[in-house]
């Protein structure tokens, strides 16, 4: 079988599309194969932190993202009584050369998709191809596909295959057949987005409460969505729940499934019950991850993004780490060519880096600030937050996470380009 492309990318999510753009940047032929028959702007909100935006800036995408995102100004933490614990600046306001964006995942994906089609051509994304397995030998790798009805499609040969096919990756399942289901954390997230009046600075992310009594993260992802000046507000309500019967990411919830703990969260700066009750649909997301793998690369096949290192979303870092994966691999291919050596260097650096983030998200992501206040205050209102936790302790939690995730301000400014 002759080679169809240099790099075959499985999955048209953030990792796959950014990898395709990066291959174009270094002059390497690639093609993206995606399971769905049509790419649509689905999902809810995500945050693109400055380390990810730096990579997207190097691809010339910041203007397009800025046009459809909210440029985040600050991040705040509150207890469940609406009392402010801490506010920090974000993005350029925090000293980064790059902004932070809060954005609808579908808007972000369409920016990436449009850029791929414009730069690589519309034929560079092949839809309706669900990968069911791969194989590899000394000279290349082959991907096998079925169509949306399950009928076999012609296999595709490449020099290297990069599986960006998500947390339910067929390639990961093939390489690690005994791994089992994703690991449930005991927490379930209810997520939605709805037009609502701006709150706080109008470009804030806010984390409120704690898991034991209900935690809410909220931020705007589109500006001026109607004549009333409302924003599209994204929210994530997290509660302790029994093990789910399904790991579906498209299951809808009823208001009574989750509203109880938040029913009296009416603050001067936000009416939480009104926000939650005005949202349709509300999606249910079991909060899961997987243990770090011992390896990602098998011959001429490797894993990337959620296929390699799914993590809980508590650090707003999943898409960001996938983007870093794509850019680092591009640098490896630029140095080593389209070879196994490139995959080996990519794995040696990114597996260790992302494993630290996966484990930190389990124990001490930024919302650990809320845990400390909840436990130390006995879940009671406070008179002075500094009687509960010092500003130095709060900053230490935040800085420790930034350092592990690779976006401390000076750390990021001084780091050489990946590509």
Question: Is 38 within a domain?
Answer: yes
Tokens of 266: 């009416």
Read off the pLDDT of residues 120-164 as tens digits, 9 standing for 90 and up.
999 999 999 999 999 999 999 999 999 999 999 999 999 999 999
Domain that holds residue 314: 5-72+100-181+290-364
Domain count, the chain: 1
**Could you tell me whether strands 70-71 and 101-104 are parallel, antiparallel, or unpaired per DSSP bridges?**
antiparallel
> Could you tell me where the beta strands, DSSP code E, fall in 23-138?
30-33, 45-48, 70-71, 74-78, 84-89, 101-104, 125-126, 130-136
Tell me which residues of the chain have a pLDDT lower than 70. Answer: 1-2, 249
Question: Is 302 within a domain?
Answer: yes
Q: Are 370 and 210 in contact (CB under 8 A)?
A: yes
Question: Is 89 within a domain?
Answer: no
Question: Is 44 within a domain?
Answer: yes
CA distance 280 to 193: 8
Following CA atoms 191, 319, 14, 107 in sequence, which dihedral angle do they give, to the nearest 10 degrees? 50
Tokens of 121: 């051509």
Question: Is 370 within a domain?
Answer: no
Distance of CA 103 to the CA centre of its chain: 11
Rounded to two decimals, the pTM is: 0.96
Question: Is 213 within a domain?
Answer: no
Question: Is 274 within a domain?
Answer: no
- DSSP code of 40? -
User: Counting every residue, how long is the chain?
Assistant: 419
CA distance 287 to 242: 11
Question: Is 284 within a domain?
Answer: no
pLDDT of residue 2: 61
Tell me, what CATH number does 340's domain have? Answer: 3.50.50.60
Q: Which residues are paired to 184 by β-bridges? A: 288
Burial class (CB within 10 angstroms; exposed 0-12, middle 13-18, buried 19+) of 141:
buried
Give the number of other CB atoms < 10 A from CB of residue 191: 22
pLDDT of residue 211: 92
């Amino acid at each position: 079988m002759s080679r169809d492309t240099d790099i075959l990318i499985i999955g048209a999510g953030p990792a796959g599309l950014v990898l395709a753009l990066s291959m174009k940047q270094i002059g390497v032929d690639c093609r993206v194969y995606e399971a769905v028959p049509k790419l649509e702007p689905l999902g809810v909100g995500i945050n693109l932190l400055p380390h990810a935006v730096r990579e997207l800036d190097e691809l010339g995408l910041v203007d397009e993202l800025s046009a459809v995102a909210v440029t985040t100004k600050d991040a705040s933490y509150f207890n469940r009584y609406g009392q402010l614990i801490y506010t920090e600046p974000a993005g350029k306001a925090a000293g980064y050369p790059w902004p932070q964006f809060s954005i609808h995942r579908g808007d972000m994906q369409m920016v990436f998709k449009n850029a791929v089609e414009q730069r690589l051509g519309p034929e560079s994304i092949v839809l309706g191809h669900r990968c069911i397995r791969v194989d590899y030998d000394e000279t290349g790798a082959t991907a096998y596909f079925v169509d949306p009805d399950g009928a076999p499609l012609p296999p595709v040969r490449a020099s290297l295959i990069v599986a960006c096919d998500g947390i339910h990756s067929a390639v990961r399942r093939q390489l690690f057949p005994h791994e089992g289901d994703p690991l449930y954390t005991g927490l379930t997230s209810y997520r939605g987005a709805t037009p609502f009046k701006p709150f706080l600075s109008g470009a804030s992310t806010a984390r409120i409460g704690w898991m034991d009594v209900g935690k809410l993260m909220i931020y705007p992802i589109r500006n001026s969505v109607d004549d009333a000046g409302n924003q599209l507000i994204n929210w994530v309500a997290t509660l302790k729940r029994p093990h789910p019967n399904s790991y579906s990411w498209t299951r809808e919830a009823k208001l009574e499934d989750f509203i109880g703990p938040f029913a009296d969260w009416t603050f001067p700066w936000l009416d939480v019950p009104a926000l939650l009750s005005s949202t349709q649909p509300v999606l249910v997301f079991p909060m899961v991850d997987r243990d770090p793998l011992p390896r990602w690369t098998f011959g001429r096949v490797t894993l990337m993004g959620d296929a390699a290192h799914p993590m809980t979303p508590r650090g707003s870092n999943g898409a960001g780490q996938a983007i870093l994966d794509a850019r680092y691999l591009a640098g490896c291919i630029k140095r080593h060519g389209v070879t196994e050596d490139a995959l080996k260097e990519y794995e040696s650096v990114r597996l260790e880096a992302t494993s630290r983030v996966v484990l930190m998200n389990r124990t001490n992501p930024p919302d650990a600030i809320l845990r400390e206040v909840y436990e130390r205050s006995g879940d009671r209102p406070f008179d002075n937050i500094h009687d509960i936790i010092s500003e130095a302790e709060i900053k230490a939690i935040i800085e420790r996470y930034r350092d592990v995730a690779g976006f401390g301000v000076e750390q990021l400014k001084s780091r050489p380009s990946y590509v």
